[in-house]
Amino acid sequence: MTIDQRICELVAQVSRVSPDQIQPNSDLYRDLGIDSLRTLELVATLETELGVAIPEIELLGLKTPRDIADKIAFFANIPAP
């Protein structure tokens, strides 16, 4: 599974939107309803499931699962998707 797919899966878990409806370029807020409160749940889920520490502030400006994947890659020091 690619990091893109894994992020989409975790975003699906938090947003309760079916994973097959989530694309790496889906809009987190507009298409998936992830508002600031759910951003925090998303951070918690990402940190627990992926074992990375993400300053939650870093996720505030991110718009898509692909943006998150890029950021996680940066914090986990792995190549971006």
Partner 1 sequence: MTILFISMSGVRIVSQSLKELGITLPGFVERGEVISSLPSLAGLTLAACTPGDVEFRYREVDDITQHGLETDVDLVALSTFTAMAYDCYALADRYRSVGTPVVIGGLHATLMPQEAKAHSDAVCVGEGEPVWPRIVDDARQRRLKPFYRASTRYRYDLSTAPVPRYELLDISRYNRLTVQTSRGCPLDCEFCAASKVLGRYRIKPVKQVMQEIDRIARLWDHPFLELADDNTFVNKAWAKAFLKEMAKRDIPWFTEADVSVADDPELIELLAKSGCRQVLIGFESIFSESLDNLDRSNWKWKRRDQYRRAIDSLQSHGISVNGCFILGLDGDTPDSFEKIRDFILETNLLESQVTVLTPFPNTRLYHRLKQEGRLFEETFWDRCTLFDLNFYPKQMSPAELEEGMMFLFRELYNQQIYARRRRHYVDIQKRLHTAA
Q: Which of 19, 36, 63, 78 binds partner 1 (CB under 8 A)?
A: 36
Are 17 and 34 contacting, i.e. CB atoms less than 8 angstroms apart? no
Task: Select from 1-9, 50-58, 61-69, 70-78 the region that touches partner 1 (CB under 8 A).
Answer: 50-58
Site for partner 1 contains 61 (CB under 8 A): no
Site for partner 1 contains 33 (CB under 8 A): yes
Task: Select from 1-9, 43-51, 66-74 the region that touches partner 1 (CB under 8 A).
Answer: 43-51
Give whole-number Cα distances, 20 to 5, 6, 17, 26, 46, in Å: 10, 12, 8, 11, 19
Positions touching partner 1 (CB under 8 A) are: 15-17, 21, 29-30, 32-33, 35-38, 40-41, 43-45, 47-48, 55-57, 60
